[in-house]
Amino acid sequence: MKIFSKTLCLLALSYAAASCCQTSQTNVPVYLDEEQPLEIRVEDALSRMTLEEKVKILHAQSKFSSAGVPRLGIPELWATDGPHGIRAEVFWDEWEQAGWTNDSIVAFPALTALAATWNEDMSALYGKSIGEEARFREKDVLLGPGVNIYRTPLNGRNFEYMGEDPYLASKMVVPYVQEVQKNGVAVCVKHYALNNQETNRHFYDVVVDDRALYEIYLPAFKAAVREGGAWSIMGAYNYYKGQHACHNEYLLNDILKGEWGFDGVVISDWGGAHDTDEAITNGLDLEFGTWTDGLTMGATNGYDAYYLADPYLKRLREGSATEEVLNEKVRRVLRLIFRTAMNTDKPFGSLCSPEHYDAARTIAAEGIVLLKNENDVLPVDLSSVKKIAVIGENAVKIMTVGGGSSSLKAQHECTPVEGLLAAVGDKAEIVYERGYVGDVTDIFDGVATGQDLSESRSEDQLIADAVKLAESADVVLFFGGLNKAACQDCEGSDRFGLELPYAQDKLIKAISKVNDNLAVIIISGNAVAMPWVNDVNAIVEAWYSGSQAGHAIADVIFGKVNPSGKLPFTFPVKLTDNGAHALDAYDREDLSVEYKEGLYVGYRWADKFDVEPLFAFGHGLSYTDFTYGEAKCAKASVKAGADVKVAIDVTNSGKMAGKEVVQLYIRDEESYLERPVKELKGFRKIYLEPGETKTVEFVIEPDMLKFFDDAKHEWVLEKGKFTAYIGASSKDIRSEVSFEVR
């Protein structure tokens, strides 16, 4: 179908070019002339379209495509999931995969892993690589990245997002956006906004004050639009101020299009539109995935029943909807089509290239976080071990399939055990034990893992077998954590608790008793409780690392890569150490969710109430050591509006080259509105050879000192004293220096 419609468009294109009245010098209609400014082309195309054609391009025509204007040779738009790789092709009107044989792709690490690199170059590499794959698969809109803030550790989709801090997410999202769009593929930043849980996701209504909205939940979206130049945004499912986020006066008209000047397209989440009048007036531009009382099940006219389809046409014809509002929507969709589907200057992209596999491996390795490493358990020295025990289902389980719309049909996925085997070769023996049974699902939307994880042994037998192996090994590598099953790290449901599932705690404790040369590697997209944290010498968070997971993990385990990842969100000791849960402000039953913790999300909560985290935001160890000098301020006092320069020397005082993420947090010592104790306002990832020292400089711009005064509805820079904290994590502050703004 797609190829046919493209041919049709090209034929129409040539006909239109020949027969159209208004032409530019080159005898090509203005809207087709790429030499013309975008807005001129948009106006020209708009002027040629009928009312029916205008309405038709504002909603889907299939599960993942929306119509163009064949008569004018304006092609349709094709969208695809997701944030970590290009989803398998599906049937015209189904979620089920269509069974193509040329749509396998490279699965890149989950966005928590990307955020954990704290390295904007990795974000650029990620965007370039995934953008090339989307382009090669002839997609115009990539439905990602997701930047919803990590408010609760239970949210099933945290693995798709970039953590708990708005500054980190704002910095890490921009290069991804810019590099994807260089391929002539639009990003669709999601889910705007306040979609911070999956429970009741279509129905819950968020109550949150403007300070938390503007200081915590919006910044990453604003950065994606204002600095990244995102060409589309996806509305979230939930309500805010009583209106669905997909057609929301405040979020879409006032803030996104008004305050931020967004010139792109607001795309609904699939099934996120619920009302024609609101969709018309409250900023929705392109409607996808609407359920229309079953008509979409295979019927061709289901799409005419969309809120922005026949019901909209009817209102326009009877005069209760204005063509002016219609034209504003159509301009945005035309702009998107010209930037993507009709952009003849696009590169061709590439799929499953060696460069993409290398990118996946590099990003994954750089995102792995070494949480604890005592008695030098890691890196494993292959010249001194003979037998390596590998225990746990997550050492063998395919993780790119499942978890909801980010599920992928990867051309290849190197599991941890495969990566270890490839790295070890014949230097040592690797013996595997299952240890526990987690999720044996092997298919999602028709994409099968090909694995048979069925198991007949009892829980106790599995533990006994694992302990027996651990006793006989020189080193034990346990792979556990979560997975992509429902109520784990999965769209559409949240976890029920912070604990590891499947009796893993019992197993880890049992193993730790027989071998203290044990490293626990957690594969997850969320924080987990670790009651055994003092019984285990080495702990690693390895995320969902995609096609090259096993190789990246082996690179770190055996020291080929010195880990440099830092946590993008706090690991609390217990659930009520998290603000939303301490205030019982995450309620499964209540459809009105009040964000009572306000600004105090993540480490902001821990700082305010002096709660000791299990592992802090920004925490991550290295195989080498870094020492910090004294932070120095160029000027102790500056005029309001001037930059403040802070510098510090950092030295690699260990024996191995490595990277350190030097973090800058700012405290406003006196403010007329309450502010968090300190907030991340800068980070630098530096590479240091053993013994090498570098001076790290931060430029603190006035905007970084501002807070949002919701009463005045403006950002305020207040004079007075500030403190700059510089450290290796939000808890590990190495030096501080005060300065004053006059």
Residues that bind ligand GLC (CB under 6 A): 81-82, 143, 190, 269-270, 405
649 is catalytic: no
Least distance between ligand GLC and beta carbon 76 (Å): 17
Phi, then psi, of 425 in degrees rounded to 5: 55, -130
**Smallest gap from residue 167 Cβ to ligand GLC (A):** 24
In the complex, least distance from residue 79 CB atom to ligand GLC, rounded to whole angstroms: 8
Other beta carbons within 10 Å of 71: 14
Q: Does the bond joining 109 to the residue before it have cis omega, within 30 degrees of 0? A: no
DSSP class of 249: I
Q: State the minimum distance, in angstroms, from the CB of residue 64 to ligand GLC.
A: 7
**What are the b/e assignments for 212-231, b being 16+ CB within 10 Å?**
bbbbbbbbbbbbbbeebebb
- Minimal distance, residue 545 CB to ligand GLC, in Å: 21
632-633 and 644-652 strand pairing: antiparallel
**Count of residues for the chain?**
742
Closer to ligand GLC by Cβ: residue 157 or 372 = 157
How near is the Cβ of 407 to ligand GLC at its closest, in Å?
A: 10
Q: Which is nearer to ligand GLC, 143 or 388 (CB)?
A: 143
| Closest to ligand GLC by CB, 236 or 511 | 236
> What is the Cα Rg of the chain in Å?
26
Residue 665 near residue 730, CB atoms below 8 Å: yes
Token pair, residue 699, equals 């430029």
Q: How far is the CB of 393 from ligand GLC (least distance, A)?
A: 27
* Closest listed residue to residue 95, CA positions, set 265, 272, 296: 296
- CA torsion angle for 348, 349, 353, 354 (degrees, to 10)? 100
- Pull the structure tokens for residue 554: 């082996």
Name residue 227's amino acid: E
**Are the C-beta atoms of 678 and 725 separated by less than 8 Å?**
yes
* Nearer to ligand GLC (CB atom), residue 148 or residue 570: 148
Element containing residue 172 per DSSP (H, E)? helix 166-181
- Is residue 512 within 8 A of residue 505, CB to CB? The reply is no
Bridge partner residues of 389 (DSSP): 431, 476
Judged by beta carbon, residue 82 or residue 283, the one nearer ligand GLC is: 82
Instruction: Write down the catalytic residue from 165, 269, 555, 577.
Output: 269
| Rounded-to-integer distance, Cα 26 and Cα 283, Å | 37
Nearest residue (CB) to ligand GLC, 42 versus 111:
111
User: Three-state secondary structure along 592-603?
Assistant: EEECCCCCCCCH
Residue among 81 and 285 whose Cβ is closer to ligand GLC: 81
Residue pair 93/62 in contact (Cβ under 8 Å)? The answer is: yes
Tokens 């005898």 belong to which residue?
Answer: 27
Return the number of the residue (143 or 230) whose C-beta is nearest ligand GLC: 143
Would you please indicate which residues are annotated as catalytic (active-site) residues?
269
